[in-house]
Amino acid sequence: MPMFNIIVSLFVTMLISAGITPFVRKLAFVLGAVDKPNARRVNKTAMPTMGGLAIFLAFTFATFVLLRPQFNTHMLFSLFLAEAVIIITGMIDDIKELSPKQKLFGLTIAALIVYFLAGIRMTEVNLPFVHFELGWLSLPITIIWILGITNALNLIDGLDGLATGVSIIALFTMGIIGFFFLTVSEVGTPIMIFTLVAALIGFLPHNFHPAKIFLGDTGSLYIGFMLSVLSLQGLKNVTFVALVIPVVILGVPITDTAYAIIRRKLNNKPIMQADKHHLHHRLMQMGLSHRQTVLVIYGIALIFSMISLLYPLSTFWGNVFLTIFLLLGLELFVESIGLLGPKRAPLLHMIRSVVKKLAKDNPET
């Protein structure tokens, strides 16, 4: 298919997503998929959820109709089956809240479909000085990757347009890297990624603050699932770069999730217990408005994405040092906003101690 036709199809996908979202909004009210205000919610009035259904419908129409020749039939139908499981799980949760175990069951079923039917999986590790086939470990590692990324995206869906915008940035970057660094035979993957980006862009105006509809678990689980599965396409052979790039691209949800787990462990709280100390909560507690918080996190996501673009262009040791400096910078940022708590900033305390010692040893004359 000519590139012009692909671009037109992506534009049509965006329009379809934007056009059907109001109808999904009405359907959410009819089905009772409404998010009511409570102590943990930012919204002050009841809001329709289930917005992910509009994204799913637009994406499905585009892949099965507009861009059908670009995709392998078996992979497309297998992935659709997994997507349907995620969407059904999310819709049930938005209408009638599911327990964490019930949601985990739905996610696991979808992940197993991806592994066994679609054949999307990690198969081998090829790092410097280390090369081995994953064998039976391929299944649990693939499942853990899918569940981890899906739940990470679900956790940051706390403000209008936040998860949608961060996902657009992450997916667009993933598509750019896939388009320029994958072989021609794999071009279907970046096209599928850009198709999902188009569906998300069409939905964003309805979801950005002040939102008319929320993603709901229908959307956050679906987008997180698609992020995890599409990123897996570059992880069949786990090289250092192939592993690091999607992790860096998804830096915002992964960081927020990782530090949430650490924070709850340090405070002797259950890992699954919700709190109001996520990245977006901390920024708002520091005085930023709803819209400003979302834009700041968009900016952080863009920084992660720009850094990820350096990995394919650098040497191995360049990538190692880039990763070290990225982790140090990330830790300083996290400590400066108190993501783990005001008294838990070891790196900042160490830097301050060194500065004080230097100032004491070298007083001004």
**59, 9 Cβ separation under 8 angstroms:** no
In the DSSP assignment, the letter for residue 135 is G
Q: What are the C-alpha distances in Å from 61 to residues 66, 74, 82, 324, 365?
A: 7, 17, 16, 42, 73
> Given the structure tokens 């592994």, which residue do they identify?
115
Among 54, 102, 110, 103, residue whose Cα is nearest residue 80: 110
* CA 38 – CA 33 distance, rounded (Å): 15
Sheet of 237-238, strands arranged across: 130-133, 124-127, 237-238
Could you please report the per-residue DSSP string of 227-258?
Answer: HHHHHHTT-SEE-HHHHHHHHHHTHHHHHHHH
Exposed/middle/buried for residue 80 (C-beta within 10 Å: 0-12, 13-18, 19+): middle
State yes or no: 217 annotated in a binding site. yes
- CB neighbours of 280 closer than 8 A, spacing ≥ 6? 156, 158, 159, 162, 293, 294, 297
Q: What is the dihedral of CA 104, 119, 81, 101, to 10 degrees?
A: -10
Provide the β-strand partners of residue 35: 47
State yes or no: 154 annotated in a binding site. yes
Provide the β-strand partners of residue 218: none
Q: Which residues are annotated as a binding site?
A: 154, 217
Specify binding-site residues for Mg(2+). 154, 217
